[in-house]
Amino acid sequence: MNGYYFTILHGAVLTVGVSLLALLVSIVLGLLGAAAKLSGNRLLVAVATAYTTIIRGIPDLVLMLLVFYGGTIGLNHLLAALGSNGNVDINPFFAGVLTIGFIYGAYMTESFRGAILSIPKGQMEAAWAFGMSRVQTFVRITAPQMVRYALPSFTNNWLVLIKATALVSLIGLKEMTYVAKQASAATRSPFAFFLFTAALFLVYTTVSLYALRKLNARFSLGAKRATL
Amino acid sequence: MKWSVIFEPQNLALYGNGILTTLGLLFSSLGIGAVLALIFALALTGPWAPLRWIVGAYTYVVRGTPLLIQVYMIYYGLGQLEWIQERWNDIWPWTYFKEPFFCALFAFSLNTAGYTAEMLAGAIRETNAGEIEAAQAFGMSRFQVMLRVVLPSALRRTLPAYSNEVVMMLQSTSLASAVPSMLDVTAAASRVYSDYYLPFEAYIAAAFIYLVASFCLIAVFRLAERRFLAYLAPRKH
């Protein structure tokens, strides 16, 4: 009986791994998406808009099943077309990381776009006037200030992302929700295991919330706040 | 790609049933959730501290754990408690726990109630102090101020956030497919996939259905906002 709790804790490591890697993917996609939306290039704006609108209108689970099952068949067809008899199975870990990262990249795009728009335009213009390139302006001027504006919605997205990792159990990754479900089927005392898993998720979200609040306080140090 | 499979009558019927289940789940859980949310929001902003803590803890737990685990906990967890098993054959409210639809509905309602309660409580707290003071100056009681001034404006101001919650809830109903013998749109797609081994067609059809449903919901909320939030819209002249 106690062994199951250890297995769930072991699964928790996978949950943390999936969520952090997916976060990384979503931040990269979010920055690319925000850059595309703000680029003013018609084609890029259209692609980024289609990305954010379509992804945010489809359930995470459906996309995940599409990527996992569809991706497996698609890859095998591709291999067959290339003349190989090999049979690949998509790893549920990577399918989960890529799908969740891809989905939350759409949400991050909107957060980052809003954050960049909140920075006074004069800041970027001043940087250009100093002869900085676009990349230099982004790294030195935009990014440090963007963090403060993006953090509140980033925090929301991150909390939703953590909870979305539970879905990866449905495509067979043995993270903690999956283990809890197996344990409950084996021992016929499901309540305890699900409660334990829920508590672990609660700890994870609480710790993240605390850390991000600290980070927010750190990045808001220079901001002037008016009090009524 | 064999899209013709999707349009075979028996598969169209499968998706049709799925749409009915999904929409049924969505609207009934939103209805129950909204009533609960109103009660919870009043408790969260009310004068009684212990109630505030209890409801606050409830929303914290509901919003901090995945919906999938909440569904499992109600479907597998509650359904296997002996106390409920002794009762679910004949004693009235417990007989529902035998039905997967009810278990999913119960989990979704409690979940959306937690999220909506916090939004509504936020809107109530942010009501303009002048409005409340004016109402008090007219001699209205606490109950009257709530009913006549705070709630009508707070409910309207919650609309934009609530529209997000409704679209999120539509997507969350796809988790009903994790409960065996529930046939929502996602479960219909999974069945078509396993019958014909056509994942792209099956799931893209489901994705399309969800996308159309999301757009319809968003359009309805746009209209509602134009009607109920007209006084907050930027001036046009």
Number of CB atoms found within 10 A of residue A215's CB: 15
- Most confident by average pLDDT, A66-70, A179-183, B60-64, B192-196: B60-64
How far apart are the C-alpha atoms of A154 and A152, rounded to whole Å?
Answer: 5
Number of CB atoms found within 10 A of residue B167's CB: 19
CB A93 within 8 A of CB A14: yes
Contacts of A19 (CB under 8 A, 6+ apart): A100, A161, A162, A165
CB B225 within 8 A of CB A72: no
Which pTM value belongs to this model? 0.87
Contacts of B68 (CB under 8 A, 6+ apart): A166, A167, A169, A170, A177, B175, B178
The two structure tokens encoding residue A197: 């898993």
Residue B161 contacts A where some CB pair is shorter than 8 Å = no
DSSP category for residue B232: G
Question: What pLDDT is stored for residue B237 in this prediction?
Answer: 66
CATH homologous superfamily of domain A20-174?
MetI-like (1.10.3720.10)
- Measured in angstroms, the CA of A173 and the nearest CA of chain B are apart by 15
Residue B94 contacts A where some CB pair is shorter than 8 Å = no
Residue A188 contacts B where some CB pair is shorter than 8 Å = yes
Compute the half-sphere exposure of residue A78: CA atoms within 13 Å on the CB side of its CA.
8
CB A165 within 8 A of CB A22: yes
Question: What pLDDT is stored for residue A225 in this prediction?
Answer: 65
* Cβ–Cβ gap B65/A69 under 8 Å: no
Q: What is the pLDDT of residues A88-127, one digit of tens each?
A: 777 888 888 999 999 999 999 999 998 988 888 898 899 9
| B186 Cα distance to chain centroid | 17
How far apart are the C-alpha atoms of A185 and A177, rounded to whole Å?
Answer: 12
How far apart are the C-alpha atoms of A117 and A146, rounded to whole Å?
Answer: 9
Residues in chain B: 237
Taking CA atoms, A16 is separated from A68, A161, A181, A208, B169, in Å, by 20, 11, 18, 11, 25
Compute the half-sphere exposure of residue A165: CA atoms within 13 Å on the CB side of its CA.
34
Closest by CA position to B101, among listed B206, B167, B183, B19:
B183
At residue A75, does pLDDT exceed 70?
yes
Query: What is the predicted ipTM?
Result: 0.85
| B residues 41-70 closer than 8 Å to A (CB) | 60-61, 63-70
Closest by CA position to B182, among listed B91, B71, B86:
B71
CB B172 within 8 A of CB B67: yes
CB B202 within 8 A of CB B196: yes
Place of tokens 């109903």: B173
Domain range annotation of chain A: 20-174
Place of tokens 């497919």: B177
How far apart are the C-alpha atoms of A108 and A88, rounded to whole Å?
Answer: 31
- Measured in angstroms, the CA of A123 and the nearest CA of chain B are apart by 28
How far apart are the C-alpha atoms of B25 and B16, rounded to whole Å?
Answer: 14
Contacts of B125 (CB under 8 A, 6+ apart): B45
Residue among A62, A166, A190 whose CB faces B76 most closely: A190
Helices in A71-171 by DSSP H: which ranges? 71-81, 92-118, 121-129, 134-137, 143-164
| B residues 193-232 closer than 8 Å to A (CB) | 193, 197, 199-200, 203-204, 206-207, 210-211, 214-215
Angle at A63 between CA B30 and CA A172, to 5 degrees: 100
pLDDT per position in chain B (237 positions), as tens? 777 877 888 888 889 999 999 999 999 999 999 999 999 999 999 889 999 999 999 999 999 999 999 998 888 887 667 677 777 677 767 777 777 888 889 999 999 999 999 999 999 988 888 899 999 999 999 889 999 999 999 999 888 889 989 999 999 999 988 888 788 899 999 988 888 888 888 899 999 999 999 999 999 998 998 888 887 777 766
Question: What pLDDT is stored for residue A83 in this prediction?
Answer: 76
How far apart are the C-alpha atoms of B115 and B74, rounded to whole Å?
Answer: 18
Residue among A70, A74, A198 whose CB faces B69 most closely: A198
Question: What pLDDT is stored for residue A227 in this prediction?
Answer: 57
- Measured in angstroms, the CA of A92 and the nearest CA of chain B are apart by 16
How far apart are the C-alpha atoms of A214 and A208, rounded to whole Å?
Answer: 10
How far apart are the C-alpha atoms of B65 and A202, rounded to whole Å?
Answer: 6
Question: What pLDDT is stored for residue A205 in this prediction?
Answer: 92
Q: What is the pLDDT of residues A17-54, one digit of tens each?
A: 999 999 999 999 999 999 899 888 899 999 999 999 99
DSSP secondary structure of A151-217: HHHHHHHHHHHHHHGGGGGGGT--SHHHHHHHHHHHHS-HHHHHHHHHHHHHHHHHHHHHHHHHHHH
| A residues 30-59 closer than 8 Å to B (CB) | 54, 56-59
Domains detected in chain B = 3-232 (1.10.3720.10)
